[in-house]
Amino acid sequence: MSKELVDALNALEAERGIDRAVVVEALENALKAAYKKQYNAAQNVEATFDDKKGKMTIKQVKLVVLDEDFVDADLEISLSDALKINKAYEPGDEIRFDVTPKDFGRMAAQAAKQVIVQKMREAGREAIYNKFQDYENEIITGEVERQDARFLYVMLAGQQEAVMAPGDQMPNEHYRMRDRIKVLVTKVDNNLKGPQIFVSRTAPDLVKRLFEQEVPEVYDGTVEIVSIAREAGDRSKIAVYTHDADLDPVGALVGQRGVRVQNVVNELGGEHMDIVEWVEDEAQYIANALNPSEVTDVIFDQENERVVTVIVPDDQLSLAIGKRGQNARLAARLTGFKIDIKSESEAGDLLNTSSAPEVAEDEVVSESDTPADFS
């Protein structure tokens, strides 16, 4: 058994990266518990395991006390008796006596195995948790393993299963076993069942991390992705900015002949990307966000600074609003403003007064004045 334990320690450390000291400590605790249970011992004992030789030892620990204070022979030794062992002992010292039973091995090993297996499992879980915690909010490539009514299960790094909820699965994708997909690690929990890792294909940060992989200027911070509004599988709007006056931030993400952005689009199953420039001028930023529509004017509501009315040419109204209101809705999410879009002819006197009509916070008015939530 001793040799088996030493071999197991070596294998765990070499193959699974589990700290040898953690297993040795667990083993010593198991030996101590096994000794006390088997021999009905209440005294103070210590268990030691020599992880080189595989030798197990049980020692009884006694405190040296003055003769007149001596009470418990299991926990104490009188000073006079201690001096017979070594004349250097003083009250307060501890003396350890080897009490390892000759028949202790088999039962101790059985008890130790159970506890060691549990501790090794815990140590393994902790190692996995620590590893994947570092991946939180980062991209990792996984392999689709299986799917049930609750989750899609993805194997990460060939060693840990992650779960993807339905809301984190792309509506335009159908996953099959052994498909390799890039996912964003959104959360890493460590509970009684062990590490649980949650991943997503729909999180806006997935788009950001993909551009970091494709665009060196984004990775090194020269170009900053300020905001992302996303309807996963269909369309995303990305606002970008740079302090470098000689660099076009939009062009950096698009790449020569659109190669960079196309790689991201391909990874996301054809999801359309609108890349716009973030500027400090809020009116210009809102106009940029409504790309590809032209914008004639942006008028801020005097009573609510987060509400604006955007005026567009008559022939641009449908484009500004977008299919099912998507363009305006994403622009509102990107900028953080509630947006009321009107055509030039529809705006009437609005351009002359430079004041927007009152708009409810949860409404955006389309060309038919039908409320639609573009937030």
CATH superfamily of 2-128: NusA, N-terminal domain (3.30.1480.10)
DSSP 3-state of 278: coil
Q: What is the CATH number of domain 141-200?
A: 2.40.50.140
Return the H-helix or E-strand segment holding 263. Answer: helix 259-267
| CB-side neighbour CA atoms (13 Å) of 233 | 11
Q: Does residue 127 or residue 209 have the better pLDDT?
A: 209
Of 73-87, 191-205, 348-362, the range with the lowest mean pLDDT is 348-362
CATH number of 292-375: 3.30.300.20
Q: What is the pLDDT of residue 106?
A: 75
Place of tokens 């030892």: 57
Q: Residue 264's pLDDT is what?
A: 96
In the predicted model, is pLDDT for residue 123 greater than 90?
A: no
Run of H or E including 372 = strand 371-372
The whole-chain average pLDDT of the chain stands at: 86
Least confident of 28-32, 173-177, 359-363: 359-363
Which DSSP letter does residue 167 get? G
Radius of gyration of the chain (CA): 34
Residue 276 to residue 254: CA distance in whole angstroms: 11
pTM over 0.85: no
pLDDT: which is higher, 73 or 250: 250
Which residue ranges make up each domain of the chain?
A: 2-128, 141-200, 203-278, 292-375
* Residue 16 scores a pLDDT above 70: no
39: pLDDT confidence band, cut at 50, 70 and 90? confident
Cβ atoms within 10 Å of 220's Cβ, excluding its own = 9
User: Residue 328 — pLDDT band, cuts 50, 70, 90?
Assistant: very high
Q: What is the separation of C-alpha 90 from the centre of its chain, rounded to a whole number of angstroms?
A: 55
Tokens representing 19?
Answer: 């700290």
33 vs 370, residue with greater confidence? 33
Question: Could you identify the residue written with the tokens 């996984």?
Answer: 142
Burial label, 239 (beta-carbon count in 10 A; 0-12, 13-18, 19+)? buried
- Calculate what percentage of the chain has a pLDDT beyond 90: 61
How does pLDDT run across 71-122, given as a tens digit for each residue? 988 899 999 999 999 999 999 999 999 988 887 777 667 766 777 777 777 7
Tell me the CATH number for domain 203-278.
3.30.300.20
User: Could you tell me which of 117, 163, 154 has the C-alpha nearest to residue 18?
Assistant: 117
Cis peptide before 292 (omega within 30 of 0): yes
Report pLDDT digits (tens) over 272-310. 999 999 999 999 999 999 999 999 999 999 999 899 999
Question: Does 374 score more than 50 pLDDT?
Answer: no
Tell me the residue length of the chain: 375
Fold match between domain 203-278 and domain 292-375 = yes
Angle at 153 between CA 137 and CA 119, to 5 degrees: 80
On whether the CB atoms of residues 164 and 129 are closer than 8 A, the answer is: no
Left (φ > 0), alpha (ψ -120 to 50) or beta: where does 255 sit? left
